[in-house]
Amino acid sequence: MLKMGEWKTIKIGDATAIGYISNINNYSCPGDCVEFTKVGWIIGGIIEWRRPTQGIYESNRLRSAVRLLDQYQDKTILIDLALATRDKQWFEQLTQKRPGCEETD
């Protein structure tokens, strides 16, 4: 079951786009198509962030982007992306302090 806001990848031609599900409607048969907002392209193994663009795609073409996003050691790029896409929940997840990481005087 797909959920709005889930991060996915999709193969489009010879390239792979990364983005999130921005709308789930019954564009054709129920559950067949979703609105997908592309925010980056994977080129040569590197993500190139771009201005968000939306398209409607078959849901069975989407793949999870969790492992790809977890590969990024530097979270500042992801924080910038969360701000650019106005994804408050993701921003808060990226910036919350982990237990044991509190600053001391």
Highest average pLDDT, of 23-27, 41-45, 50-54, 77-81, comes from 50-54
User: How many CA atoms does the CB half-sphere of 26 hold within 13 Å?
Assistant: 2
Is pLDDT at 52 greater than 80 in this prediction?
yes
Q: Which whole number is the average pLDDT over 28-34?
A: 69
DSSP 71: T
Alpha-carbon torsion angle 72, 52, 86, 96, nearest 10: 0
pLDDT score, position 36: 94
Q: What pLDDT is recorded for position 26? A: 61
Q: 19: closest CA among 71, 79, 64?
A: 64
Please give the average per-residue pLDDT across 27-49, as a whole number. 79
- In this prediction, residue 5 has a pLDDT band, given cuts at 50, 70 and 90, of confident
pLDDT in the model for residue 14: 85
The beta strands (E) that lie in 1-105 are given as: 7-12, 15-23, 33-43, 46-58, 62-64
Q: Which amino acid is at 22?
A: S
Q: Does residue 1 carry a pLDDT above 90?
A: no
Burial of 91 (0-12, 13-18, 19+ CB in 10 A): middle
* pLDDT surpasses 60 at 91: yes
Residue whose tokens read 């996915």: 8
